């Protein structure tokens, strides 16, 4: 028995004692229970590479020896975590066009994980619907899925939920062990990093960044999530959804097939193995174990590298909309940023705030929110995607109305360096501008996607995106530009776009269950997963 197993056994004994005073009897052995593990940002192609190169020996083992199956899944557009989880957790087609966008109803930006934004979106889009994690636990997700207990979810990032004082005291043994174990692992990682930097001084700057990310995500966050989920498994929690973030973080920083990303994937595989061992020790709880991904990532070049340090959201104004002016952004951009900073400072303090600052600065760049507004037009860069909004309209403009205001703007944009697809609306469906050509998209006329085997799915996904009220009047993508895939924020791995790497993921399922196939949108997962809730009623 490993030390982790011994600690969990001791914790389980303590939990039973606490339950006698507060929680009642242990869970009844009746229905099957649900465990979903999401590997954030992992495409099906990289999953297969990880299995083939022995980065994921545990996953390979259960596929070979325990009857588990990989089912291909297309996740639709945008290829981002909030849209995926809203569809899978609540069964709704979400109005979430990206990680950062403008909401006309609020007349302000939505930018995950700014305080309160995910909570507002979840309440707005999922109100009255039962989530697939109702009565259970979520870890590392954007939304709660209806869970009673959630930690590190964007909806309550500064106010994690719990079940009272006794619940806070109950996991004392696990928390204490996580602190001791992760401190020791962190010291080990730092020691190895110092040795590497002494041997290779030129690696220091890039190496320190990777070391801090690995300690934060692969040691502390992954370690805590794994132990917390293990405790839930022993306790018989009816539904658990855990999202491992470390591969996605490494892929953004270094690329989806980089050494660092593949190392992070190997760490996740070890966590999967630990959860599997715990699940096998409590067969009376009858857990069904799923592994899935919300989107993939495409290797990319930052726009600033392609265009000599320029920023897309400013360049559009200077080049096309207000070429003679260099006036200041309007008050909304300045006051919105200031209010966001003040709200963030009021909401959290101390060590946890320092961690939030690290996340925001390194991954979300809150010091520069990459949104720009002038003359009643707002442009937001959100990854390999950007949105252009005409603010004096309560509903999105179609292509004819937009071009009456800004003649030939989408055509000119699509011919520009670092820009691939430009999408707009029309009464006949989505319009695509690509390298100066205007194309009316249809399943039978897939335009630039004609060579892809999933062309019809891509076209339908574009149509879904352009039906979202919060998508821009123009949606700009850096995919398939003349410079390859380009991201409008500084990153080496990107997602939100329609590339095959981003759209095509997977679900690993137990052999005895059947999924609704083919999986062409995450909304199809909801009827399957909600059955676990219905069985427990």
What was the pLDDT predicted at 367?
Answer: 45
3-state SS, residue 101: strand
- Of 75, 108, 113, 115, which is closest to residue 94 (Cα–Cα)? 75
3-state SS, residue 285: helix
- C-beta of residue 375 within 8 angstroms of C-beta of residue 324: no
User: What is the reported pTM?
Assistant: 0.83
Task: Report the DSSP beta bridge partners of residue 69.
Answer: 509
Structure tokens at 491: 């990153």
- C-beta of residue 257 within 8 angstroms of C-beta of residue 46: yes
pLDDT digits (tens, 9 = 90+) for 205-260: 555 554 565 555 555 677 788 888 888 888 899 999 999 999 999 999 999 999 99
Q: At 109, phi and psi to the nearest 5?
A: -75, 150
Helix %, strand %, coil % of the chain (to 5): 50, 15, 35
Q: Is the dihedral of CA 91, 96, 100, 102 positive or negative?
A: negative
**354: Cβ–Cβ under 8 A, 6 or more apart, which residues?**
none
Count of CB atoms situated within 10 Å of the CB of 163: 12
pLDDT digits (tens, 9 = 90+) for 102-159: 999 999 999 997 889 999 999 999 999 999 999 999 999 999 999 998 887 777 654 5
Give the span between the Cα atoms of 497 and 491, in whole angstroms: 14
Q: Which domains does the chain have, with CATH numbers?
A: 3-299+499-535 (3.40.720.10), 301-490 (no CATH)
- Of 122, 128, 93, 127, which is closest to residue 110 (Cα–Cα)? 122
Higher pLDDT, 96 or 365: 96
Of 75-84, 149-158, 302-311, the one with minimum mean pLDDT is: 149-158
What mean pLDDT is reported for the chain? 82
pLDDT digits (tens, 9 = 90+) for 480-511: 999 999 999 999 999 999 999 999 999 999 99
């Amino acid at each position: 028995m490993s030390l982790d197993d011994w600690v969990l056994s001791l914790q389980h004994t303590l939990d039973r004692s606490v339950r006698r005073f507060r929680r009642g009897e242990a869970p009844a052995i009746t229905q099957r229970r649900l465990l979903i593990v999401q590997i954030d940002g992992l495409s099906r192609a990289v999953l297969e590479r990880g299995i083939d190169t022995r980065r994921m020996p545990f996953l390979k083992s259960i596929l070979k020896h325990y009857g588990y199956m990989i089912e291909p899944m297309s996740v639709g557009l945008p290829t981002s975590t909030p849209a995926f989880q809203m569809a899978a957790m609540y069964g709704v087609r979400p109005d979430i066009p990206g990680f950062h966008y403008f909401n006309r109803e609020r007349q302000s930006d939505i930018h995950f994980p700014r305080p309160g934004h995910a909570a507002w979106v979840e309440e707005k889009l999922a109100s009255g619907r039962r989530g697939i994690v109702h009565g259970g636990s979520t870890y590392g997700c954007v939304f709660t899925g209806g869970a009673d207990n959630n930690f590190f979810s964007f909806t309550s990032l500064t106010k994690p939920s719990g079940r009272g004082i006794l619940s806070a005291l109950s996991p004392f043994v696990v928390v204490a062990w996580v602190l001791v174990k992760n401190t020791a692992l962190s010291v080990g990682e730092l020691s190895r990093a110092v040795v590497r930097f002494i041997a290779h001084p030129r690696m220091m700057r890039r190496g320190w960044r990777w070391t801090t990310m690995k300690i934060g995500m692969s040691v502390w966050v992954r370690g805590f999530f794994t132990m917390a989920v293990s405790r839930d498994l022993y306790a018989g929690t009816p539904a658990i959804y855990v999202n491992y973030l470390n591969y996605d973080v490494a892929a953004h920083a270094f690329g989806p097939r980089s050494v660092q990303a593949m190392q992070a994937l190997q760490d996740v595989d070890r966590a999967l193995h630990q959860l599997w061992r715990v699940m096998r020790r409590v067969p009376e709880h009858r857990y069904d174990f799923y592994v899935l991904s919300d989107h993939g990532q495409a290797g990319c070049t930052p726009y600033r590298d392609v265009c000599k340090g320029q920023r897309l959201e400013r360049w559009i104004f200077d080049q096309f909309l207000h070429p003679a002016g260099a006036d200041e952004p309007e008050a909304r951009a300045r006051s919105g940023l200031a209010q966001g900073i003040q709200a963030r400072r009021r909401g959290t303090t101390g060590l946890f705030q320092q961690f939030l600052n690290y996340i925001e600065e390194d991954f979300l760049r809150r010091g520069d929110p990459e949104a720009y507004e002038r003359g009643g037009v707002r442009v937001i860069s959100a990854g390999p995607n950007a949105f252009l909004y005409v603010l004096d309209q309560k509903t999105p403009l179609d292509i004819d109305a937009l071009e009456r205001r800004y003649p030939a703007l989408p055509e000119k944009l699509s011919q520009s360096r670092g820009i691939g697809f430009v999408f707009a609306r029309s009464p006949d469906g989505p319009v695509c501008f690509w390298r100066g050509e205007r194309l009316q998209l249809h399943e039978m006329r897939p335009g630039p996607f004609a060579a892809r085997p999933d062309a019809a799915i891509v076209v339908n996904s574009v149509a879904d995106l352009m039906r979202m009220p919060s998508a821009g009047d123009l949606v700009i993508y850096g995919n398939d530009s003349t410079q390859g895939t380009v991201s409008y924020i500084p990153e080496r791995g990107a997602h939100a776009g329609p590339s095959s790497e981003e759209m095509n993921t997977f679900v690993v399922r137990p052999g005895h269950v059947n999924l609704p196939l083919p999986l062409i949108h995450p909304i199809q997962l909801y009827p399957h997963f909600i059955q676990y809730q219905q069985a427990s009623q």
